[in-house]
Structure 1
Amino acid sequence: MIALSGGVDSALVAYAAFQKLGVSAIAVTADYKTLSKEELETAKQICSEIGIQQILLDYDELQNEEFVKNSSDRCFHCRLELGDHLVNLAKKHDVELIVDGTNLDDLGEYRPGIEALKNNGIRSPLVETNFTKNEIRVTAKLVGLSVYDKPSNSCLASRIPWGQRVTNEKLTRIELSETFVKQITNVRQVRVRDLNGIAKIEVEKDEISLLQGDALEEITKKLTLIGFQSVKVDPDGYRPGKINVIAD
């Protein structure tokens, strides 16, 4: 059983599992509140490409107070709950092994969720075989996976600074905002950080110029209509994990 998101890492694991095990391999995608619709559709597309059976796991992590209060170990509680669901599902399907898409580069970042999955006995074959992110992309391209160059993504809650509660309202406006920014500017990678109602937009440095003039005016209009008080563009550009060090 492969815990499959909409990214290239778990896609490669699912591909390898299906090539080796055929119908004995099952992909499971957690369709929870912090997964964007775009990521869910990508996950479905990946499974269709590979030919692997996909099970959608539907539950609401916003019922988990440890997750909602959004402390620095939010990801631990999220992945602990996911692990419990995966273990229960594995028992129902008589599955002996659950794996995920964690890779070698992930171990160099602050990822409390990795430890939570380990606690449930979930293994990471890309780590065990020493695959880096770049090697994963090269291999995914080689075997023909369409997501080989897909920008990395993370759950919508990662746009909310630690200590500010995660709510359905915030997640919805974050997802809508990122969709608007992509539609208006055609940027590949975007994060809309929700800083107590202020939208801070991060894109790659070489795409910041797209967030000016009429485009920025249109974005600001749309984002304030859906509940943001004001809109800022981060002049330093996108960097993974930046939200974790934002104090205000």
Structure 2
Amino acid sequence: MSDSLPVQLVEKRDALLGILSGYGRVAVAFSAGIDSTVVAKAAQLACGDRAVAVTADSPSLAGGELEEAKRLAALIGIRHQVVRTEEFENSDYLKNASNRCYFCKTELYTQLEGLAPQLNVDVIVNGANLDDRGDHRPGMQAASEHDIRSPLIEAEFTKADVRALAADWELPIWDKPASPCLSSRIAYGLSVTPERVRRVDEAECFLREELGLRELRVRHEPNDLARIEVPVTALARFANDDIRDKITTHFKSLGFKFITLDLEGFRSGSMNSVLPLESLTMSAK
């Protein structure tokens, strides 16, 4: 470990390692995102073979993420297990109300609790950081109900802190864009189905390959409408006839009937803009 970090972040890093060490035997809910990767690395450093990373596999996991989770776990040196979650069997999840994430996380944490004796762990942890507390995160309620610990919050890590520590630890995903589950691209109230999340996944993969962009979203709106979000600096590229024709043809082959470009550009959580203020307020508590 390097101490080239700012003193305050060194203190937070050491606090994080101390917190995890104090937990004893730890299972990390590991999505291969930057937050859970930092927690997995910290757990390996603090707990050694008493730590295990567990990745949930389901239709809502974007293509390539499971493979990346396996690579990262091997790089970190932490024991790794994959569990198949069944949130798509839950009608409350499929309804896709604003609390959809609650049912997904409940499924995950219930499975992890059931696996705890087999995994030989005492505590289950997630990758939530301080910035997550002010966002629309129904999954945080599920974490509270299942006594899931959030060591990054306990050590007072912000998202910026997490990225800085990941870079210092030379984790290859230190600058990885946020990658929420595919179901988050489906408009609230429009049923989540394996077909719709597959359509979104294939559409996003196509745009990444075609345009070479890292940050983008394909939002699945009602009436099989695709709303594409890319950085504002990339909007002009869609005026190219060849690019526009390729995208239109491919998206229609996936089952989209209408293809639109959001002129506001890429922004995380844009689906939440249609939620009533009270829903956002309640989820932040």
CA distances 1:121-155 after superposition (whole Å, capped 9, x unpaired): 11000000110111110110001100000000101
Q: Cα distance, 1:212 vs. partner?
A: 2.9
CA contact (8 A) 2:85 2:111 kept: no
Structure 2 partner of 1:74: 100
Q: Distance in 2 between matches of 1:192 and 1:24?
A: 40
Structure 2 partner of 1:160: 186
Question: Helix, strand or coil: the match of 2:199?
Answer: helix
Q: Cα distance, 1:77 vs. partner?
A: 1.1
Q: Distance in 1 between matches of 2:174 and 2:180?
A: 16
Question: Helix, strand or coil: the match of 1:28?
Answer: strand
Structure 2 partner of 1:58: 84
CA contact (8 A) 1:33 1:61 kept: no
Could you tell me which of 138, 142, 155 is aligned with 2:168?
142
Could you tell me which of 236, 245, 252 is aligned with 1:209?
236
Larger radius of gyration: 2
Structure 1 partner of 2:212: 186
Q: Cα distance, 1:103 vs. partner?
A: 0.5
Q: Cα distance, 1:245 vs. partner?
A: 2.7
Structure 2 partner of 1:93: 119
State the one-letter code of the partner of 1:237: G
State the one-letter code of the partner of 1:168: P
CA contact (8 A) 1:189 1:203 kept: yes
State the one-letter code of the partner of 1:201: I
Structure 2 partner of 1:223: 251
Q: Cα distance, 1:72 vs. partner?
A: 1.0
Q: TM-score, normalised by structure 1?
A: 0.96
State the one-letter code of the partner of 1:184: E
State the one-letter code of the partner of 2:146: N
Structure 1 partner of 2:14: none
Instruction: Say what the alpha-carbon RMSD is for the aligned residues.
Output: 1.2
Question: Helix, strand or coil: the match of 1:188?
Answer: coil
Q: Cα distance, 1:59 vs. partner?
A: 2.6
CA contact (8 A) 1:26 1:53 kept: yes
Q: TM-score, normalised by structure 2?
A: 0.84
Question: Helix, strand or coil: the match of 1:131?
Answer: coil
CA distances 1:208-243 after superposition (whole Å, capped 9, x unpaired): 233331212211110001100011111101111111
Count of paired positions? 247
- In structure 2, the gaps of 5 or more residues are 1-26, 276-285
State the one-letter code of the partner of 1:10: S
- In structure 1, the gaps of 5 or more residues are none
State the one-letter code of the partner of 2:104: C
CA contact (8 A) 1:161 1:244 kept: no
Q: Cα distance, 1:37 vs. partner?
A: 2.0
Runs of 4+ displaced beyond 4 Å: none
Question: Helix, strand or coil: the match of 2:124?
Answer: coil
Q: Cα distance, 1:53 vs. partner?
A: 1.1
CA distances 1:86-116 after superposition (whole Å, capped 9, x unpaired): 1111122221011010011111101010110
